[in-house]
A and B are shown apart, each in its own frame.
Chain A
Amino acid sequence: MSERNRAGIRLVDWFVWSGATLFLAYGLVCEAVAATSSPAAVFGEECGVCHVAYPGNLMQPADWSKVLGSLDRHYGVDASLDPQMLAVVASHLRATPAATKVGDKSQTLPRITTSSWFRKEHDEVSAKAWSSPAVKSAANCSACHPGAERGDFDEHSIRIPGEGHHEHDRED
């Protein structure tokens, strides 16, 4: 084999190995990124795909355990997760600050929206607003709280469909 042919083969080999190395590195980076998705991101993705990813401090840890323990019967729909995802979601909720809100103890499956603190916070919302098609359900936080997806429930940014800004805004 001539020296020129050998040089050609070496060049091809170099390109092939470089390509393989880059491909492998890309695969490893992708795997690493997927594996290191933070529990908060997984919680946002898995729970936020159907409703606002409710902040963990809106219920007691025991209430969240009940919710996570019956995801196959989740307020009328099956929201089951595979065991790995469930463990990550649970770890996110365990890591959020302990709830200061008192939940409704009378039900098997707790609801944020029937707790006494929720009712007190929302006692000035009219029946007309609750029944508005844009609201549909008290669980639909983002109908009136535009920042709910980000965990922002600031009173000054409240907009009630058909009624405009919340009264707190007009006081400023």
Chain B
Amino acid sequence: MRITLSTIAALFLSGAVHAETPASLLRSYAGEAAAASRPYAGPSTSAGDRFFHQQHKDWSCASCHTPDPRRGGSHAVTGKTIQPLAPSVNPARFQDRAKADKWFKRNCNDTVGRECTAVEKADVLAYLISLGGAK
């Protein structure tokens, strides 16, 4: 019986590896940030807010995602419609590690001119999670 229960627990855990939530993704980036930069005080919502709105070279995150990430935007170059980034209004966001990594890599390269650090990703994600429903 004990074996049965532990088997089931293991199966549930292995199934859960694939499913991400914004909170689990934030924990994951924060863990990488802590490993990469010590001392690390944890994700900062206000630093994420600043980073999101900061003009880097030509663009900021807000150039395409709009200054309010609870709203949809459009790509500055391609015109592609962009759904809201804040998970509170768009539950499809930050459900998949590979997808989040792909877009952080692309968009950081385009906007900041380099890949973002784990600290920056954790801060931005903390900021996005902190936003409530649409105004």
Contact = CB atoms under 8 A, between A and B. Distances in A.
A16 interface: yes
Contact of A51 (B14, B80, B106, B109): B80
22 contacts: A13-B1, A16-B5, A16-B8, A17-B4, A19-B8, A23-B8, A27-B11, A27-B15, A50-B80, A77-B75, A77-B78, A77-B106, A77-B110, A78-B109, A79-B106, A80-B105, A80-B109, A82-B98, A136-B79, A137-B79, A139-B78, A140-B79
B7 A80 contact: no
A78 B78 CA distance: 12
Interface in A53-99: 72, 76-82
Interface string B11-22: 110110000000
A139 B80 CA distance: 12
Contacts of B135: none
Contacts of B57: none
Interface string A1-45: 000000001000100110110011001000000000000000000
A20 B4 contact: yes
Contacts of B98: 82
Given A77-B77, A82-B98, A137-B79, A20 B106 contact: no
Interface of B: 1, 4-5, 7-8, 11-12, 14-15, 75, 77-80, 98, 102, 105-107, 109-110
Contacts of A51: 78, 80
A51 B80 CA distance: 7
B24 to A, nearest CB: 18
Nearest to A72: B109
B109 to A, nearest CB: 4
Contacts of B110: 77-78
